[in-house]
């Protein structure tokens, strides 16, 4: 017997106005018909552009030079890339297909950062040909960069990735002694432009303090003749999916009985945080180290700050829609089955759960008696479940209704999607007011 003890408190998502308008419009049903009745993702480049502009403005407000690189791994859509061609922006990639995709959508090589560990020669070759900024992770990679640059007759613009002192067991970055050797080893055709790091978590303070230590690395590198003038603090710009009160209520009472089969995940994303987005960037820049804000230290030392956010740029810029296929009882709750697979909500495949409440959109409008349900995918796997937590819907879902999962553009949409059962991957639909089109790899149709 599978009894859910009590209904968990609601976790309504924080949604942008465009998403609410579209969800309640006839256009959503038009899209559903147009894509053939399966699941689909809706994305909104205008929201991405707004988020990007806010981060660029946060740097400018503190009079800090820098670049905001979109961490492309967060979402594969091409539509975002056209927004990354404006001044002060770029794209962060970690594979040949990602680099080609960015170049094919108008992002110049000089505005592309290439990261990741142990990059293959093919990626380094293409990055060097297009004069991308390469974050080097290890001594043997630095040797390969130098060799390939020499063969090509190109200059290699590099950052050296630092292993954070707080993560001595990390597989990424140079340990202190190896970093000193790498700095000494940078010589023509390799140009050391600065240093980078990535931190887990979403606290502004460790980022500011580690960035301050990288300023000192730049100063030391300059004494050796290197033009070190850039620091990348990576991504990890926080996002809030639900409000503070809802999250606190959920976390304070959370227990196994709220979840089907008692599948209460051990860890989840912190669905409410503060500060977030541009406010977090401002907090990093204003944090004082020995009485001096990081922003002032950057200015005094003529150092640019590079950011590589992914989730924060697509925050509020997309949602995912699953058509309902059926609904049946399971003791004291329902099991709603939808078209598609739980792989289209990647959080489920990290031993976790995407917790913001799904929204029921009924073809015949509101009405009915509230029910509580979990949501399952349409595969033959017992664990193909989109929402293990019993959530309350305003009415029993009917075949043909739509379940909308809000704010899924950040990592949820396509990180783990699979063609299992030979099901097609859900298309991404670009929304522009009441107009829409399917996202394509190369959206440039004409030059005006």
Catalytic residue annotation: 380
Q: What are phi and psi of 340, to 5 degrees?
A: 105, -175
Helix (H) or strand (E) holding 222: helix 204-223
Helices (H) and strands (E) in the chain, counts: 11, 19
Residues forming a β-bridge with 429: 42, 438
Q: Tell me the C-alpha distance between 45 and 85, whole Å.
A: 13
Among 325, 285, 278, which Cα is nearest to 304's? Answer: 285
Quickly tell me which residue has 């968990």 as its tokens: 8
Write out the two tokens for 171. 């597989």
HSE value, Cβ hemisphere, 13 Å, CA-based, for 215: 20
Write out the two tokens for 166. 């707080």
Quickly tell me which residue has 């296929």 as its tokens: 325
Cβ neighbour number for residue 444 with a 10 Å cutoff: 11
CB 123 within 8 A of CB 148: no
């Amino acid at each position: 017997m599978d009894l859910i003890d009590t209904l968990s408190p609601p976790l309504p998502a924080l949604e942008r106005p465009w998403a609410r308008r579209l969800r309640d419009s006839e256009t959503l049903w038009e899209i559903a018909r147009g894509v053939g009745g399966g699941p689909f993702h809706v994305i909104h480049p205008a929201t991405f552009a707004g988020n990007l502009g806010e981060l660029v403005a946060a740097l400018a407000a503190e009079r800090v030079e820098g670049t905001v690189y979109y961490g492309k791994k967060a979402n594969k859509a091409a539509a975002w890339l056209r927004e990354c061609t404006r001044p002060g922006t770029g794209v962060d990639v970690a594979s040949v297909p990602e680099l080609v995709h960015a170049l094919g959508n108008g992002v110049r090589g000089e505005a592309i950062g290439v990261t990741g560990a142990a990059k293959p020669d093919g990626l380094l070759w293409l990055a060097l040909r297009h004069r991308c900024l390469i974050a080097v992770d290890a001594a043997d990679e630095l040797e390969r960069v130098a060799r390939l640059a020499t063969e090509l007759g190109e200059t290699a613009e590099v950052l050296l990735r630092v292993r954070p002192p707080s993560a001595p067991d990390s597989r990424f970055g140079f340990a202190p002694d190896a970093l000193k050797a790498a700095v000494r080893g940078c010589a023509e055709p390799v140009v050391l432009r600065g240093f980078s790091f990535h931190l887990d978590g979403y606290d502004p303070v460790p980022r500011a303090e580690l960035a301050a230590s990288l300023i000192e690395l730049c100063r030391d590198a300059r004494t050796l003749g290197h033009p070190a003038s850039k620091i990348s603090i990576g991504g990890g710009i926080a996002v809030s999916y639900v409000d503070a009160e809802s999250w606190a209520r959920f976390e304070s009472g959370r227990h196994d009985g709220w979840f089907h089969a008692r599948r209460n995940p051990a860890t989840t994303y912190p669905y409410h945080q503060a500060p977030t987005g541009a406010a977090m960037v401002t907090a990093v820049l204003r944090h004082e180290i020995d009485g001096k804000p990081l922003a002032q230290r950057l200015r005094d030392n003529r150092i640019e700050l590079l950011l590589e956010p992914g989730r924060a740029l697509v925050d509020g810029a997309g949602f995912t829609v699953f058509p309902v296929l059926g609904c049946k009882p399971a003791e004291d709750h329902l099991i709603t089955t939808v078209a598609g697979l739980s792989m289209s909500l990647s959080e489920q495949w990290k031993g976790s759960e995407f917790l913001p409440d799904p929204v029921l959109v009924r073809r015949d409008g509101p009405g009915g008696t509230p029910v509580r349900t979990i949501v399952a995918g349409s595969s033959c796997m017992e664990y193909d479940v989109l929402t293990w937590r019993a959530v309350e819907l305003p009415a029993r879902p009917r075949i043909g209704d739509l379940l909308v999962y809000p704010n899924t553009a950040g990592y949820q949409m396509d990180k783990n999607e699979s063609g299992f059962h030979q099901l097609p991957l859900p298309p991404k639909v670009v929304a522009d007011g009441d107009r829409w089109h399917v996202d394509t790899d190369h959206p440039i149709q004409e030059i005006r």
